[in-house]
Amino acid sequence: MPLKELAERRTLLHRKSDAQTVLAHALDDLAIGPVAMVSSFGAESVVLLHMVSQIAPDTPILFIDTEMLFDATLTYQREVAEQLGLRDIRVVKPAREALLERDVDGVLHHFDKNACCALRKSEPLERALEGFGGWVTGRKRIHGGLRKSLPLFEKSDRRIKINPLASWTQGMVADYITQHDLPRHPMVAQGYPSIGCQPCTTPAGADEDPRAGRWRGSAKTECGIHFEDAKPLRRAS
């Protein structure tokens, strides 16, 4: 079955399903094949991480360490993984040779943010996803921009991407975290509703889009790891 048709059929099938059902089906879907979860261990990541820990704790979790993350994120990643009993955390880093060749001084983000994201996120993730038929993300329509019409399942280059929380609101996220007494990323309380790399992340005001603090002052809205018709999504349309 073509991947686009498969994604559309799964989205239709689960149009009334809750997130846990979508996730459980995706992780055991023979048509999709092996599935990994890609997690930033950011502001809202703990919701899906907890669901995975309850459904299939052996699921591979791909954590992209760009080597420019906040120290708080690295600490949070280790603590959450241990607390939830996640058994297969795979820390994904940029290739050393590529860093030496293209960003030896660590300032590429000042001159070409897209090139920096490609080097430190997109390319390492593509290597890590080799052998997987699908991957799970925590993206939501409430994030706005390119995510406003996000489906539950979508064709992403050569794979199926699964977005179990696509329809979730901020209230649903907060309620789930409270209900299950889950640890929050410490920077959320400091005004960071979305957390990426240290050089390109700032706090966002209560009246701003949750992702307003990402690449502030530029037209860039996506890091490039999400694809549509095999093209990386990096800017607002």
Pair of tokens at residue 146: 């390119």
Handedness of CA 9, 11, 14, 15 (dihedral sign): negative
Length of the chain counted residue by residue: 237
How far apart (Å, rounded) are the C-alpha atoms in residues 119 and 125?
A: 10
How far apart (Å, rounded) are the C-alpha atoms in residues 26 and 44?
A: 20
- Give the contacts of 24 (CB within 8 A, at least 6 positions apart): 55, 56
Find where tokens 């820990």 sit. 53
Find where tokens 């307003």 sit. 212
223 labelled catalytic:
yes
Pair of tokens at residue 167: 């329809």
Q: State residue 197 phi and psi, 5-degree precision.
A: -75, 150
DSSP secondary-structure letter at 118? I
- Region at 46 (left for phi over 0; alpha for psi -120 to 50; beta for the rest): alpha
116, 197, 200, 223: the active-site residue: 223
Compute CA distances 224 → 164, 220, 228, 230, whole Å: 20, 10, 10, 11
Active site residues: 223
